[in-house]
Amino acid sequence: MTPASAKPYRGVFPVAPTIFDDRGELDLDGQRRCIDFMIDAGSHGICILANFSEQFVLTDAEREEVMDAALKHVAGRVPVIVTTTHFSSRVCAARSRQAQEAGAAMVMIMPPYHGATFRVSEKAIFEFYRVISDAIDIPIMIQDAPVAGTPLSVDLLARMAREIPHISYFKIEVPMAAAKLRDLIAAGGESIQGPWDGEEAITLMADLDAGATGAMTGGGYPDGIRQIIDPYFAGRREEALAAYARWLPLINYENRQCGLQACKSLMKEGGVIGSEAVRHPLQKVHPATRAGLIEIARRLDPVVLRWGR
């Protein structure tokens, strides 16, 4: 497998949660421990400030604090993808330049959207990504996610990959992701450097079979995802399939029951971080739901439950 430090980037690039203390303030020491755990657990790279990082509850100043703390602490050990999504082309370009200057290996950006109805045309989406590309010299990953509510056709994505210089990575997490990945690879050819799986790896095997070369999952168990990815890329599909079946109950529990709080609960349980707090109006998962998560996780013995003990 190509080393994660080389391009094209591939492998397991989980999303790091943003760590708060029990009062809801940034816990940068906890953030650094989180990063250390994720690297020790086998992450080929890390994504920060994504939706699973609660980027939507941070001020701009806090975004900068988290980005600077994370990139300085990683210190080149693994590539870091910084999410710079914003509705405004100008603001998104500025965020992306700032991320590049701070040491980001890549930026990840959703198409412009706001609320339930503010969308822009396909022409404007194309121009939006071209503005970002003109502002930076690092790869752009387009995040094709239901949360944006913006249809991104395979033809549009492939055209952007061919015609906009830095667009070459795609995180596909819409329904029927495998079919879209397969069609995108066929339509974009060599312009598609990184067709990636998302959505906590719930469709990982199908996406790998469709040609996915990376997985952006939750941050709680990179070692578990590696047990699927590594044998698959080594040509041992049956071993990968068995590992997927083994880890799927935990993946499903994260995806369907706990959402972005799963990795925080696992990290708190394993002593990685001191608080699993999320920012209001988000609510903590029910204790019974949390207990179910930990019960399933213990059967798999992930690094997260041992790392801080």
Catalytic residues: 171
Per-residue buried b or exposed e for 39-58, using 16+ beta carbons within 10 Å of the residue's own CB: bebbbbbbbbbbbbbbbeeb
| In the block, residue with structure tokens 């906590």 | 200
**Can you tell me the distance from the alpha carbon of 173 to that of 146, in angstroms, rounded to the nearest whole number?**
7
Confirm if 161 and 168 have CB atoms less than 8 A apart.
yes
Half-sphere exposure of 196 (CA within 13 A, CB side): 27
**Can you tell me the distance from the alpha carbon of 166 to that of 164, in angstroms, rounded to the nearest whole number?**
6
Q: Which two tokens stand for residue 264?
A: 């925080």
**Can you tell me the distance from the alpha carbon of 118 to that of 121, in angstroms, rounded to the nearest whole number?**
10
CA angle 6, 171, 263 (to 5 degrees): 90
